[in-house]
């Protein structure tokens, strides 16, 4: 029987409907052109925008070979860094100039498609690059929030197969993050506790939705999962801002992220996916009610008319079954 489940943070309802697994689906993956030129390959630095940050081998020069991770401006940015916001109105409508930043994190110098296939130290360098760019960009007082995200596969929005992720920094807080902040703050006011701490405690107690656990992180399929095999990585130590996570914790996160992605890729036949780092806005102090975390969405189903029209999501795979399957999937 189907169930309605309520997300405890934002109050969003989802429908868990396992019966829908029996319906015919076309999950064929749109193909990225394997013969398309790869501008991210080592040795082709001159055809990209100049690098903003790079983890490099000793003695190598900027904008040349010898790098391990490289950050560049997106050639087709959603937002640009030049100019003033000029917040203004047109009648009842508000607008401002598209000020922000849009960068690409090239995760390796060669043509690997999967972050999880890279050496662990390379994965850690990617996470360090995220932090370095956020700590730099937050100095611009026009910018208040950064979203780090990865699109893997054409169905997930990628236009190149070479392993890469992106960040977009905006002068306003995105509504999805604001809803989380508001929901977490309301829970804290009512109970005096962080909702993420309570979620971790419940998931560790029941174990039904836990995928893996380490000394500093827990990985689970959330109770009100919107999508089949939706998976969250949540730190056990309370921090609201990802850019403030200490180096030792980032080192462990690299291993946890690699293992989690490996489970999803092995268990689900290398699906397209998105992951997003949710973090508090730059212009807020450390928040007692909010915790940074990573949300991963394998793209195994589409969003159709009911979802768009109602705000509900329909998920055909109960998170308890998804977590059990992923727990038993090898990640080595």
Q: Is 58 exposed, middle or buried (0-12, 13-18, 19+ CB in 10 A)?
A: exposed
Of residues 162, 164, 278, 289, which has the active-site annotation? Answer: 164
- DSSP string covering 23-81, please? S----PPPPP-TTS--TTSTT-GGGSPPEEEEEE-TT--TTSS-EEEEEEE-SS-SSBS
pLDDT of residue 96: 84
pLDDT of residue 260: 98
Paired tokens of 103: 């960068």
Task: Please state the domain count of the chain.
Answer: 1
Decide if 231 is inside a domain: yes
pLDDT of residue 32: 73
Q: Is 227 exposed, middle or buried (0-12, 13-18, 19+ CB in 10 A)?
A: buried
Q: Count other Cβ atoms within 10 Å, centred on residue 78.
A: 12
Q: Is 273 exposed, middle or buried (0-12, 13-18, 19+ CB in 10 A)?
A: buried
pLDDT of residue 23: 52
Decide if 241 is inside a domain: yes
State how far the Cα of 198 lies from the Cα of 28, in Å rounded to an integer. 39
Decide if 90 is inside a domain: no
Active site residue 164: yes
Angle between helices 247-267 and 120-137 (to 10 degrees): 120
pLDDT of residue 4: 87
Give residue for tokens 């940015």.
77
State how far the Cα of 137 lies from the Cα of 230, in Å rounded to an integer. 29
Mean pLDDT (10-residue bins), the chain, 332 residues: 85 82 54 79 95 95 96 92 86 88 96 91 97 96 95 89 94 94 97 97 97 98 96 98 97 98 96 96 96 96 83 91 96 86
Q: Is 1 exposed, middle or buried (0-12, 13-18, 19+ CB in 10 A)?
A: exposed
CATH number of the domain at 210, please. 3.30.428.10
Decide if 86 is inside a domain: no
- Domain that residue 175 falls in: 3-80+95-327
- DSSP string covering 252-306, please? HHHHHHHHHHHHHHHHTTS--EEEEEE---TTS---SS---EEEEEE--S---HH
pLDDT of residue 26: 52
Decide if 21 is inside a domain: yes
Paired tokens of 143: 């910018």
SS3 177: helix
The residue among 161, 61, 168, 41 whose CA lies nearest residue 104 is 168
pLDDT of residue 12: 87
pLDDT of residue 27: 52
Decide if 87 is inside a domain: no
Decide if 311 is inside a domain: yes
SS3 200: helix
Angle between helices 195-206 and 175-191 (to 10 degrees): 80
pLDDT of residue 5: 86
Strands 13-16 and 313-315: parallel
pLDDT of residue 332: 83
Decide if 89 is inside a domain: no
Name, in order, each residue with C-beta under 8 angstroms of 237's C-beta and a sequence gap of 6 or more.
216, 249
């Amino acid at each position: 029987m189907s169930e309605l489940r309520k997300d405890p943070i934002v109050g969003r309802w989802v429908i868990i409907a396992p019966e829908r697994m029996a319906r015919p689906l076309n999950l064929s993956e749109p193909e990225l052109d394997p013969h398309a030129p790869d501008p991210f390959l080592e040795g082709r630095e001159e055809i990209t925008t100049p690098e903003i940050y790079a983890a490099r081998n000793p003695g190598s020069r900027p904008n040349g070979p010898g790098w391990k991770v490289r950050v560049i401006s997106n050639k087709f940015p959603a937002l640009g860094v030049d100019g003033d916001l000029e917040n203004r109105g047109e009648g009842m409508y508000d607008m401002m100039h598209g000020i922000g930043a849009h960068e690409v994190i090239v995760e390796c110098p060669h043509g690997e498609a999967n972050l999880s296939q890279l050496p662990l130290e390379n994965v850690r360098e990617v996470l360090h690059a995220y932090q370095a760019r956020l700590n730099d960009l937050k100095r611009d007082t026009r910018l208040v929030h950064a979203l780090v995200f990865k699109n893997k596969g054409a169905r997930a929005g990628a236009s190149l197969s070479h392993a890469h992720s992106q960040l977009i920094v905006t002068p306003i807080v995105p509504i999805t993050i604001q809803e989380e902040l508001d929901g977490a703050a309301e829970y804290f006011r009512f109970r005096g506790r962080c909702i993420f701490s309570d979620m971790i405690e419940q998931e560790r107690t029941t174990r039904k939705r836990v995928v893996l656990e380490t000394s500093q992180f827990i990985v689970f399929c959330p109770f009100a999962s919107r999508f089949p095999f939706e998976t969250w990585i949540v730190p056990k130590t309370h921090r609201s801002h990802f850019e403030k996570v200490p180096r030792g914790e980032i080192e462990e996160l690299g291993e946890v992220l690699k293992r989690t992605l490996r489970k999803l890729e092995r268990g689900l036949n290398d699906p397209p996916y998105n992951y997003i780092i949710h973090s508090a806005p730059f212009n807020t102090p450390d928040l007692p009610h909010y915790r940074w975390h990573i949300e991963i969405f394998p793209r195994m189903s589409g969003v159709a008319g009911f979802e768009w029209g109602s705000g509900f999501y329909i998920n055909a795979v109960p998170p308890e079954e998804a977590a059990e399957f992923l727990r038993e999937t090898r990640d080595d």
